[in-house]
Structures are given as structure tokens and as C-alpha cells.
Structure 1
Amino acid sequence: MYHEIKLLSSSFVLFLLFQFSTSTDTITSNQSIKDGDIVISNAKSFALGFFSPDNSTKRYVGIWYYKVSEQTVVWVANRDSPINDTSGILSIDRTGNLVIHDRRQNNIPLWSTNASALSAAAAAANNCSAQLLDSGNLVLFPGDSKRVVAWQSFDYPTNTMLPDMKLGADRRTGLNWFLTSWKSREDPGTGEYSYKMDLSGLPEFFLYKGSDPVWRTGPWNGLRWSGVPAMNPNSIFNVIYVDNDDEVSVIYGIHNASIFSRLMVNETGIVGRLTWHDGGRGWVGFWSSPKDTCDEYNGCGAYGDCDPRNASDFKCTCLPGFEPKSARDWYMRDGSGGCVRKRGRQVCGSGDGFVKVTNAKLPDTLTARADQKLGIKACKELCLSNCSCTAYTNADIRGEGSGCMIWYGELVDTREYTNGGQDLYPNIRSQKRVIKIGGWWQLLQRLSL
């Protein structure tokens, strides 16, 4: 899941590092970075320069880990505008922007930061500078003071999320921080897979192929994304989730700066976290998705419940109180048509009841609403009071649970995990007790509301 990058012939690597590496982490208005020059962050965590992907002669400006033996690029500037030879130059132009030129076509930039926060005075005074930070962030400053940021690479990620980088959306400016895959291992151009936050319902990340959803994380539950059980906080990572009037974002931090870890979406459509291990192990996967057939978005249709433990029979079942819309399709192992409420269970208020589905990935939140002030009992009562309510659960699973999340429409893309999921309470329109037998929910005697 990593990209091995060939900078130049390995027999000359040490020579070139001494010959061309700059002694600073900063690019100034009076300094150009030619192909072969390398800018290194202060603690020597990251390097910036020109590179060629494996099996390619095209040249790109990128950022990679400096201390990792397998050259791993984490950001590419001119990903869709490569240079065909070593004539490229990275510099700060008269407007104060970082630009990439081909020396043979000096007046036509192949790439530019196009920063709007640059002042004419700072540009005229040649006071603009760009610094490669130890976080891997390339930052453009409009003057001598570094309190104002005109542009930063963290706002325009490519296929990799680094620690302290945001993914999400700025509600004020409309800026969306998201990842896009490379086209291939040989081409870092914008690929067909993207990993971005969707705000149509409650915030959650989707993996798309083009415009088609492939997989989603599920909503935030106070500890992690509902559909990523392996993401629980631990001694290595910490997570900051923000959801307010200004933005919705997530930031992953690393407790130990000597640990190199990254989240990426690769060219085959896999999202995953990898951590670097010395001693020949290389990049080791921490978690990745989609992993099994139940990760496929909406593979079992509306009100379907995907359980990979039933794969030898059929992965799709229906949520309690529902039955296959087309028994013939399900017999043919096609669950895309989903499920419908069982006959005789259509009348709202004629005996509503709920069944706890454990270790669930919460349904798509397009029709969901959340209230952090309500407890689980009040959440249940709110669901009972509205005939459109189809399910409820805690919005936050920390401690004994808190908050309320309610669905007012079809329950889509629900699945079960062996462990690590979340409790979900679908409205089954029945007061009978329901248990799961042979992978299917069965109605028994009356249950208590």
C-alpha cells in the first residue's frame, strides 16, 4: 500500500544528498529549487524535492519521509502536470506564490499555489517564504511574520493523511479536506477513488469510486467512527473530532513523534492506516476497508442487515420486523432489493416495540438526526412519538452512553461485527419478543416496551 519512489540511481544517493540538499527547511523569494535539490525539515522528518514514481521517467515535486528507508511520497504538487525531464524549477514568483516551471517554458507555470491571502506589498518586497515543517506540512508565509499562513499543503492533501492534518469540511469557506487516490503506482495523477466527508445527513466519511459510494465509516460515536471498530483510541494514537458551526473535522495525533503512521487511499480503492516498522517489516497495516463483502455500500438494500458470519449461506438477512422484498432474488443471493416491513406490522402506534441489534454498524445517516442532550430513555420515547421513526441509539457510546440518534427513514447499509460494533434499536412495529435463530430474526412472545 505504499509507493516506492526512485529519486535517482541508488549508487549516487549519498553523494547527491550532500551535493544538492539545502541546509535549510525554507524556500525564499531569492532561492529556486532545481531538480536534484532537496529541502529537509528541521528535525529531518520530511524532505521536499523532485521525484519519479517507480517505472516512470516523469518528474514531480513531492514530499516524502526522510528517515524511512522505503521512499514513500505523502504529497504531490503537480500531480496532474508532470515534467518530462529534469528541467523543472520550484520557486516563489513575483506574486509571492510557489510555482513550478519547466526551464524551457519559463513563463508558463505548470503548477501554482494561487494563494489569495498574499499582499502586494509582501510580494513586492520579496518577503514571502515557504517552510517545510516537521509535520510534513509545506506552508507559505506572506511576510517576515509567520503568524499568517497564505497557503499550506495540509489544506490540499493528495492520497495521504498525516498526523495533525485535518480531514473534513469548513462550513464557513466551503473548503473540503479530502483524499484522492493516485491513478496507479506509476502515476500520482488524480485517481478515481476519493475519501471525503459527507454532510447530507450526520457527518460521516465515504469512499467513492467516481461519484458512486463504495464504503462509509458510519457516524462518529464519541470514540471512533461506527464502522471502523479497529480505530479505538490507544497508546499510539489520539483523535480530535470537531463538529461546530465553523467546521466538521477529524485530526489524528501520534503520542510518540518517532512513530511514522499515515492514513491513505490507494489506487485499488482501499482506505487504511499504516505504521512504519524498521527491521525489514516496512509499512504494516493497522486497519483497512473495505475488507469483507459486508463492507460493500448498501449491499443488502434498505432494512437489510449484512452479517459476514452467514457468508456460507447468504450474507444478507433482514432487520427484525422485516422480510425480503423479493424472496426469489434472495434465493439467488441478490439482496440489493432489500427488505420490507412484515405484513401486519404497518400500523404505527398499534404496538410499537424495539429489538436491540448488537455490534452493529449504524445505518447511513442521511435520514438521521442527533440530540446530545437526550438520554437513551428519552430517545426511545421520542422515537415512539413519531410514526416516521425507524430506529434509535446512543449518539455517544463513551461510559454508559449518552445522547440520542434517531432515523426517520429507510435504514440503509447496516451490518454486524463479531465485536466492536454498536447497539441499534430498530422499530419492529410489534410487542413480540424477537431472537435471532440461524441468522434470521424470529418473533416469539410479547415483549415489554
Structure 2
Amino acid sequence: MGWLLRYIVMLLLSLILSFCTCLDKIIPGKSISGNRTLTSSLGAFSLGFFRPENSTKYFLGIQYNTFPVTAIVWVANRESPLDSPGVFMLGSDGNLVVLDEAHKVMVWSSNVSVSTAAKNNTAGLVMDTGNLVLSFEEVTLWQSFDHPSDNMLPGMKISLNKMTGQQRRLTSWAAPDDPQPGNFTFGIDPKLPVQGFIWKETIRYWRSSIYVGMDTRTVFQSQNGTAAFLSYNVDVDEVYITYSVSDSSIKLRVWLSPTGQFEPLLWQGSSKTWLPLGSLPVDNCDFYSRCGPDGACHRDEPRSSPCQCLTGFTAKFPNQWDAGDWSGGCVREKDLTCGNGLLQGYFSKLEKVKLPDYSVLLENRSMSQCDSECQHNCSCTAYAYVNATDESNIGKCLAWFGELVDLVENHKVAPYEIYIRVHGSNLGNKGLSVNSSKRSLVIAIVSSAAGLLTIIFGYFLWKKKLGKEGRTAGRMNEKNDTELPLFGLRSILAATDNFSEANKLGEGGFGPVYKGILLGDQEVAIKRLSKNSGQGHLEFMNELKLIAKLQHTNLVRLLGCCIEEEEMILIYEYMPNRSLDKFLFDPSEKTKLDWGTRFRIIEGIAQGVLYIHKYSRLKIIHRDLKASNVLLDGTMNPKVSDFGMARIFGINQIEANTNKVVGTYGYMSPEYAFYGHYSEKLDVFSFGVLLLEIISGKRTASFFRFENSPTLALWVWELWKEGRGVEVIDASVRETCRTHEALRCIHVGLLCVQEAPADRPTMASVIRMLESDEATSLPVSKEPAFSTRRNSSSVTTYSNNVVTITLPGAR
């Protein structure tokens, strides 16, 4: 009897396992109907027939399994609703089909071409991503992600094929209880430059900022540290938007509502609800062309009307404006005249704007060429120069040749500058004459070049002992692994005028940096690595691959490399502004860093460091975070640079030791400086010092250049514990800053520079604390590290490690 019982148990187990393996899959001869469903392997999504509330119609759809509140994220037969539950199966041609069983007709099909050999062997699978896939021998023939409904899920693309014009768009439901296609769609504008749009039928309803490159941005972070990232991508034949989440357990979807609202929704397991994280359009200025042609919608300024005319323009129908109707827009007060190919007029500069619609993208122009081309074209009414964030880093010249539509002032997302042509009599104090505009551009270019003196990227030193033939062969074999564009040495020599002294921007311990202009007037920073350093070939290639994998809006982009003959050269994006230290510690420049700019810089640096610690494809410890390694773009947004000293961690690795301590004295944590012990908390310590520098405007080096002087952190701590924290704030912003916000930053900075690594927060916690409005919720700070004064011999006393130290200062 024992063997019979075991046999029955084995038989039942085999039947159960056989049944379970089919839960997420539809195969030939199988179908679902009625209330039966397919469920993804981990149970996140299910597919089946449903009937919306207050409706008599049935649809086949995919939904989140978030009992008791469901969320339909994809619908198959949107245009052909059923009067009763249908049948979902594989058709005779190998396609997925929905049948109206009552009328014996097919109402929906995946409708792809399936080969004769595959027709009887295809399968439909519900993935844990929410994607329904039709496949044959693991080859995807069709997927629902290519045919979105009204929800966007992580990994799904909203895209435009530049070759065929084919688009993937979201389409709203007709009503909350009607999945049929509604009035609103979201997608990418077929014309360049890239813009996202919500259309109401065929009318533009909302427009995103103009986008000119490739980028990844942190757009959401939850209380437990998990995050979502939005990516913009421009490939050879496709432009697309996608987003990802750091933890697959996060349920985050983006929904285009029946009323045209674009809303990210986060599932709250504790309350069993979908929590809205915001929505677009946000306010009056978000609605397309709210103020009509040549009118500007001003956001966040108290006034009876958000609309105003641009400099040199007046209301077309003043009576309508008084009545609250701004659709007529504005017209010029005085007409411009054109003579000798030059339109007589001046340019008025407008800052922090959402650039207007209907721009024309002029590729491969420098800033001066962009300016000159618009000045000498009688049809050009405005221009803007936008620095690209993709691998090409070619600055984008945008020009407008008619009315300026959908221009928003005081724009928070991607704020740009625009130069608008006006009559000379309208210039006032805001505009720039043609000649003065040119002079300003020349000054800007010279200043940007000077700013690159601080860009000393500590990357990839070359070991002298390797022979020329071995180095060249090794380089050639590894070129295809860098995931970066490769530049020929000839093009680099031409770009730098054979590395001429006139093009040299500066030099540090790792080699000189040159200004280079590649074909198409692309301005770049070119780092020629010194042949006299001791770093090995393997380190060079590892770090080259490392930096190539980093894509975040707050990290400087490496554009390419040249590995040819005896040269090892790196090409970086050209930053129009200088490094943070040049503004922060210069009395004549620091006034340009108002409080809002400083706080945005702090947040941006924190987001960049969090990304390399937790969310990049590789877990990275920077090891040399400091003010001179933070570069500022055209709108003073920060980008962390110089990954030459960075180290890769395993995904689950927490800490490591090194026999060679490298970095900058004053930013090093005690466990690293004395014992070579490093972890994420080393970067947290450095960030804390940098944060206190940004708040105080004082250089950390000034506190330890003289024996027995206190550290910056200790100076802050002594004021803080006496209740005099306000005195820490830089005098240039003390009277205008948001005091509670500045004090919270000081508190966070002190928490970051604690003696014990365990007492320091993670970067995820740092960001949460910076964003919190409740100072009482922050942990109590202890006395900071290095409070016991040590002289310079401490390093040799406490450690046998080899120490490479850089004093912070101009390089």
C-alpha cells in the first residue's frame, strides 16, 4: 500500500506542476474564456475577460493583480467590444485571436505574418512586466508593448520611427467605464527636435519641453529608497521615451486619463490604493499656447493674468485680454525692415523659458554660427543654443521663422535662454544689440574655455613598462568592448591643431586637457593621458568601460576615445560653465550662486551619487567627490565628473580595502584616510564636506593648511551646538535664503561627516532628508570626525598604506 500511496502522490504532483506551468501561457489547442485567466509567473499580472463597471460590454485585458483594486493596463479588442465573454486562443494561422463565441466571428487578432513552419507551434505568454508576447522558439513575433492602450509600464516605449513614421502612442479610454479609444493621445512629435505631446483629437493640448539629446533622469524616489528613472533616447532610426524602476516589486504606471491628464500612479500596498504622484497639465501655462502667438505665459508670479506680451509686442485684441481671452496673442509694435540681407533690429534675451513650438533644428552649428545665421536671415525671429546631452554633444542651434507659440516664462523643467528679435526702440535694458550680442557670445566662449582649466579628469593612466607592440595590439583587440565611439588620431590632431599650446586649457597630474573642435564645429574637451603615469592597461580599459555605462543627467558624459599608436585619449562633453569651486570660492563670482541655485546643485549632486551607488548598471564608489569635480551646465545644473579614482563594487558588496589611498585631503573619511577602508559611506562623507562648503562658501582647504587649525566640519559643529547655525550660511545669501532649508542642509551635512560609517546616512536617506519639511524628523547629530586634532604625521602613524593625496585648489 505504501508504494501505491507514493505513486498517487507523485501523479498528483505532476498534474499540479503541469497545470502551474500553463498558468501564464496559451499554447495550440488551449484557450481561456468566461472567468478563466492567464497569470504571469510571479503573479504580478493576469489576462482575462472583464466587464467595466456600469457597462454591459466585455473586453480582453491585462491587469495588475492588486486586490481589491484592479488596474487594467492593456486592452485587446478596444474597438470591438463583446456582448458576452469571448474566447482567447491561438488561431489557425498562429496568431493570438479573440473570438465572439456567440456569433462565431473573430473580433481581434495580433495580425502578424507567421511562417508555415511556425503556425502550429506559436505560444502566447503573459510576462511579469505586463507584456503579452507571441513567440516561436523564443523568437518574439508580436508583443502588446508595441501596441499600448492608455497605460505606460516600465520597459515600454513611447516611440517614433524616423524612417517609417510609425508611432507608439498612448490613447485614453473614451470614459472611465468605456475602454474604447477616447479623445486624447500621447506621443512624440514627428518633427525634430524631439517633443512629447498630448493631443485632443488632432489639436495640440499639452507640449513637453524641447529635447535635444539622450539622458536618464531620476523622476521619483519612494520612502524606502527605491526610484524610477525616465530615459530619452535618440537612435539612428528611432526616438523613444521609456522608464525603469530600481526594484521590480514597485508597481508604478503612467496613465493617460479620459480627461487628458498624464498621471504617474504608485501602488500603496498598505492602503490598497493607487497614489497619484502628480499630473500634467499642471496649471494654466501648461495648456498649449495659453497666451496665443508672441505671448508669454508667466508661471508662479502673482498677477491678475498669467499672460503678457514679449518685449516689442502689444496685445492684438486688448479688449479680449481684459475679458480673459488671450487666444489672439500679440503683434509687433513696430515692423522690422530688411536691407542688405540683414534684418534691422536687436535681440532681447529671455531666460528660464520653455522654448516655443515650431522650432527648426540647425545641426552642426557652434554658438557663434547659430547667432550669426539668425542675424543674417531676414525671416529668423528668434534663436536659442542648447547643449546636447547625448554622445555627440553637438550643440543644437534652434531657430524660429515666424510667430512664437507656447512660450512659458519661469519654467522649472529644462529652462533655456532664447534671443528674440525686436525693434531697436523696444530694446530698453533687457535686449542685446547685434554687435553687443556677438561680443557677449565671444566672452561666453572664452569664459567657458577658461572654465575647462579645472577639468582634470583622473582617468586611465598608462604603464610605461608595456612595449609599444603589445600595447597597440591589446588596444585594438579591446576597442569593440568600450561601448563608446572611437575617434581616429588624425581627427584629434586636426581638432587640437596638433595639440598646440594655444589650445591647451590646463594640465594636472594625469595629463593635459585641450580644447578641440571636431568636424561640424563640435566643441569638446580632449584629455591626452600622460605616458609617464603608473596606471596599468587593464585599469584603463576597465575604467573606460565603467564610465561609458554611466548615463544620468547629473554625471558628466564621456563621448568617446582614441586608442591609437602611443596615444590614449578621452573626449568629454564640453561644459559651457565652469566648475563649482570657481563660483563658490571667488568673492566676485559667488553672488551668481543664489540660494535656489545652491540648493538645486546640492540636490543634483546627491542624485548623481545615489545613481552610481544604487541604480547604475555597475555599483560605483567615486572616492574623489569635491567642488572642483562638479561641473555646471548652461543653466547651473551640476554634473559630477572625474571617475579616474572610482572603484566598481559587486551588486551585493558593502565594503573593501585598498593598499593605495587616493583622493583629496579634507574630503576623505577617517576610515579611508588611515586604514584604506572604503564603502559607499566614503562618498557620503565627501558629500557632507561638499554640502557644508556650498552652504558656507568656505573652502575646506582653508581649515587644514595650518597646523592645529580645526576642520570645516568642526567649525560648523561648534556654531551649530551653540545655536548659531545661521552664522554658517554664506553672507552673500544669508539674508535672502530660506533659512529653515539652509539649516536643514547644515544638519544633513553634519550627519554625513560622522566619525563612524554606521552613523552616516545613505545617499537615499540624504535625499529624503533634504526634501523633508520637518527638521524635527532628522536624527540628532554627533560631533563630527577629526574632532581630535591630528598633525600631518597621523597618516604614517595610523596606516602603512601608500597615500596619494591631492590638495584641493585650482589646477
TM range (shorter): 0.7 to 0.9
CA deviation digits over 1:12-60, x for unaligned, max 9? Answer: xxxxxxxx98743211112111222221112222111111212234221
Match of 1:242 in 2: 233
Which of 122, 128, 139 is equivalent to 1:134?
A: 128
Structure 1's unaligned 5+ residue stretches are 1-19, 436-441
Q: 1:47 to 1:358 in 2, by over 3 A?
A: same
Residue 256 of structure 2 corresponds to residue 272 of structure 1:
no
CA RMSD in angstroms comes to 3.0
Match of 1:11 in 2: none
| Greater Rg by CA | 2
The CA distance in 2 between the partners of 1:90 and 1:389, in whole Å, is 57
Match of 2:210 in 1: 219
CA deviation digits over 1:162-211, x for unaligned, max 9? Answer: 11111122234442100111111111111111112221342322212221
- Contact 1:370–1:395 (8 Å) recurs in 2: no
Which of 356, 360, 369 is equivalent to 2:349?
A: 356
- Contact 1:224–1:231 (8 Å) recurs in 2: no
Measured after TM superposition, the shift of residue 129 of structure 1 is 0.6
Match of 1:200 in 2: 191
- Alignment length, in residue pairs? 410
Residue 89 of structure 2 corresponds to residue 91 of structure 1:
yes
Residue 397 of structure 2 corresponds to residue 404 of structure 1:
yes
CA deviation digits over 1:64-109, x for unaligned, max 9? Answer: 11246420010001122222223x2100011011111122233x11
Which of 109, 112, 130 is equivalent to 1:112?
A: 109
**Amino acid of the structure 1 residue aligned with 2:42:** A
Which of 133, 138, 147 is equivalent to 1:146?
A: 138
Match of 1:3 in 2: none
CA deviation digits over 1:357-390, x for unaligned, max 9? Answer: 22211111x242142x434343223322322222
CA deviation digits over 1:202-234, x for unaligned, max 9? Answer: 232221222121111132144779xxxx98587
Match of 2:591 in 1: none
Which stretch shows the higher mean deviation, 309-318 or 294-303?
A: 309-318
Measured after TM superposition, the shift of residue 356 of structure 1 is 3.0
**Amino acid of the structure 1 residue aligned with 2:128:** D
Higher helix share: 2
The CA distance in 1 between the partners of 2:211 and 2:432, in whole Å, is 34
- Aligned to 1:294, what secondary structure does the other structure show? helix
Measured after TM superposition, the shift of residue 299 of structure 1 is 2.1
- Contact 2:346–2:432 (8 Å) recurs in 1: no
- Contact 1:356–1:423 (8 Å) recurs in 2: no
The CA distance in 2 between the partners of 1:369 and 1:445, in whole Å, is 24
The CA distance in 1 between the partners of 2:126 and 2:370, in whole Å, is 49
**Amino acid of the structure 1 residue aligned with 2:92:** R
**Amino acid of the structure 2 residue aligned with 1:236:** A
- Aligned to 1:382, what secondary structure does the other structure show? helix
**Amino acid of the structure 1 residue aligned with 2:349:** K
- Contact 1:223–1:233 (8 Å) recurs in 2: no
Measured after TM superposition, the shift of residue 418 of structure 1 is 5.6
CA deviation digits over 1:248-280, x for unaligned, max 9? Answer: 211111122111111221111111222222221
Which of 86, 98, 101 is equivalent to 1:100?
A: 98
Q: 1:276 to 1:377 in 2, by over 3 A?
A: farther
The CA distance in 2 between the partners of 1:336 and 1:224, in whole Å, is 34
**Amino acid of the structure 2 residue aligned with 1:361:** K
**Amino acid of the structure 2 residue aligned with 1:51:** F
**Amino acid of the structure 2 residue aligned with 1:44:** G
Residue 297 of structure 2 corresponds to residue 306 of structure 1:
yes
- Aligned to 2:81, what secondary structure does the other structure show? coil
CA deviation digits over 1:372-428, x for unaligned, max 9? Answer: x43434322332232222222233465999432222222111112463341232323
Match of 2:412 in 1: 419
Match of 1:13 in 2: none
Which stretch shows the higher mean deviation, 59-68 or 309-318?
A: 309-318
Identical pairs, percent: 33
Match of 2:360 in 1: 368
- Contact 2:359–2:398 (8 Å) recurs in 1: no
The CA distance in 2 between the partners of 1:380 and 1:407, in whole Å, is 12
Task: Point out 4+ residue stretches in structure 1 off by more than 6 angstroms.
Answer: 442-447
The CA distance in 1 between the partners of 2:194 and 2:40, in whole Å, is 34
- Contact 1:367–1:410 (8 Å) recurs in 2: no
- Contact 1:355–1:434 (8 Å) recurs in 2: no
Which stretch shows the higher mean deviation, 422-431 or 24-33?
A: 422-431
- Contact 1:322–1:428 (8 Å) recurs in 2: no
Measured after TM superposition, the shift of residue 446 of structure 1 is 11
Q: 1:353 to 1:81 in 2, by over 3 A?
A: same
Match of 2:73 in 1: 74
The CA distance in 1 between the partners of 2:208 and 2:293, in whole Å, is 18
CA deviation digits over 1:126-146, x for unaligned, max 9? Answer: 1011111121111111x3x21
Which stretch shows the higher mean deviation, 249-258 or 348-357?
A: 348-357
- Aligned to 1:330, what secondary structure does the other structure show? helix
Match of 1:379 in 2: 370
The CA distance in 1 between the partners of 2:93 and 2:434, in whole Å, is 74
The CA distance in 2 between the partners of 1:110 and 1:417, in whole Å, is 50
**Amino acid of the structure 2 residue aligned with 1:420:** V
Structure of higher RCO (CA pairs closer than 8 Å, 6+ residues apart): 1
Match of 2:54 in 1: 55
- Contact 2:347–2:432 (8 Å) recurs in 1: no
- Contact 2:26–2:125 (8 Å) recurs in 1: yes
**Amino acid of the structure 2 residue aligned with 1:339:** C
The CA distance in 1 between the partners of 2:169 and 2:87, in whole Å, is 27
Structure 2's unaligned 5+ residue stretches are 1-18, 438-811
Which stretch shows the higher mean deviation, 256-265 or 241-250?
A: 241-250
The CA distance in 2 between the partners of 1:350 and 1:408, in whole Å, is 13
The CA distance in 1 between the partners of 2:20 and 2:118, in whole Å, is 27
Which of 102, 110, 122 is equivalent to 2:118?
A: 122
- Contact 1:239–1:253 (8 Å) recurs in 2: yes
The CA distance in 2 between the partners of 1:284 and 1:197, in whole Å, is 26
Match of 1:8 in 2: none
Which stretch shows the higher mean deviation, 157-166 or 336-345?
A: 336-345
Match of 2:436 in 1: 448
The CA distance in 1 between the partners of 2:60 and 2:367, in whole Å, is 52
The CA distance in 1 between the partners of 2:155 and 2:170, in whole Å, is 15
The CA distance in 1 between the partners of 2:396 and 2:377, in whole Å, is 18
Q: 1:189 to 1:33 in 2, by over 3 A?
A: same
- Contact 1:345–1:428 (8 Å) recurs in 2: no
- Contact 2:349–2:431 (8 Å) recurs in 1: no
- Aligned to 1:121, what secondary structure does the other structure show? coil
The CA distance in 2 between the partners of 1:293 and 1:265, in whole Å, is 19
Q: 1:335 to 1:104 in 2, by over 3 A?
A: closer
